[in-house]
Structures are given as C-alpha cells and as structure tokens.
C-alpha cells in the first residue's frame, strides 16, 4: 500500500506541468479551430502513451518512481529507453505540444520550450552526474550509446560493441 501511495504522489509533478501550469498561463481555453483541436488531441494522446509506458517501466523495471524523493533503484535501459535517454520528458513535451496545438496557444507553446530548456540543463548539470555516480560504468556505457534527445534507429543492446 505504501508503494502505491508513493506512485500516486509521484504523479504530482507531471500533473503540475501538464495541467496546473497550462491552466495558469492560458486564459483563453476554448476550441478555436476544430482541425487544430483534433490534431492536437491526437498528439497529446501519443505523448500520454509514451508517458504511461515510461512511468510503468520506472515502476516495474526500476523499482521506483519518476519522483526525486523515490528514484529508481535500477537503471532502466530497455523499452523506449533503449532508443533515447529521456523518453518520459519527450512524452511530457509531446503532451504539451498537443495542448498548444489543440488550443492554438502561444503561451503553452512557450511553456513547452521553457520546460525543455529547464530539463536540458537539469539533466546535464544534475541528473546525469548523479546517475554516473549511482550506476557507474553501466550508466556511462549506456550514455555513450544512447543520445539524450535524438532517438536511435535501432534499440541499444548491452552487448553492442563500441565503434
């Protein structure tokens, strides 16, 4: 039961980024264009699917959550993480992009870009050094083969040879 509560509480972060902030910065929440709304909702759903897959991988394979107060105990390198190091954040950005398109919102689009910049600096200066310290050679080998933002065409396999 304690683990379920931790998992639910860890959803506060994405809820804040995806719902609270957009509601605070966008004062005109209405459908302005039906085609844009349909395309935006489709993109939003793709982002939610990516988030569900990656968050469940953190829980099932990493034995933790996305929240900094309950991090994974194992390095997650499979599934979407074998293509790109930060698919969860890419999912969040996809949802935000979908929101900005669906509502034709310049404010949410700017928030999407700001969210990306904040996370990029966070990963470079805080998370990646922490992961290198926590998972040592395993993370450094993974980092050498899997890019931060641009997905690989083929998934990374642990037995992949360095070129």
Question: What is the residue-averaged pLDDT of the chain?
Answer: 91
Contact predicate 80/54, CB 8 Å: yes
Burial of 79-105, coded b for 16+ CB within 10 Å and e otherwise, reads ebbbbbbbbbbbbbbbbbbbbbbbbbb
Res 159: pLDDT: 65
State the average pLDDT over residues 130-135: 95
Please check whether residue 116 lies inside any domain of the structure. yes
pLDDT per position as a tens digit, 64-112: 778 777 788 999 999 999 999 999 999 999 999 999 999 999 999 999 9
Q: How does residue 2 score in pLDDT terms, banded at 50, 70 and 90?
A: low
Res 69: pLDDT: 74
Please check whether residue 113 lies inside any domain of the structure. yes
Please check whether residue 9 lies inside any domain of the structure. no
Domain containing 103 equals 33-145
Res 1: pLDDT: 64
Contact predicate 77/141, CB 8 Å: no
pLDDT per position as a tens digit, 35-55: 999 999 999 999 999 999 999
pTM: 0.89
Please check whether residue 85 lies inside any domain of the structure. yes
Please check whether residue 153 lies inside any domain of the structure. no
Tokens of 56: 């469940």
Query: CA–CA separation, 115 vs 92, rounded Å?
Result: 9
Please check whether residue 41 lies inside any domain of the structure. yes
- Angle of helix 87-102 versus helix 106-122 axis, rounded to 10: 170
Please check whether residue 1 lies inside any domain of the structure. no
Please check whether residue 43 lies inside any domain of the structure. yes
Domain count, the chain: 1
């Amino acid at each position: 039961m304690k683990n379920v509560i931790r998992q639910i509480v860890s959803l506060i972060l994405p809820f804040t980024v995806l719902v609270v902030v957009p509601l605070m910065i966008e004062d005109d929440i209405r459908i302005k264009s039906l085609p844009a709304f349909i395309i935006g909702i489709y993109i939003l759903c793709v982002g939610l699917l990516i988030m569900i897959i990656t968050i469940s991988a953190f829980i099932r394979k990493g034995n933790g959550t996305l929240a900094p107060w309950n991090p994974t105990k194992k390095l997650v390198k499979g599934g979407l993480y074998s293509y790109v190091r930060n698919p969860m954040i890419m999912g969040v950005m996809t949802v935000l992009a979908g929101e900005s398109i669906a509502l034709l919102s310049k404010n949410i689009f700017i928030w999407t870009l700001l969210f990306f910049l904040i996370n990029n600096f966070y990963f470079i200066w805080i998370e990646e050094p922490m992961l290198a310290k926590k998972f040592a050679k395993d993370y450094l080998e993974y980092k050498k083969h899997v890019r931060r933002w641009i997905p690989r065409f083929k998934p990374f396999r642990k037995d992949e040879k360095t070129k």
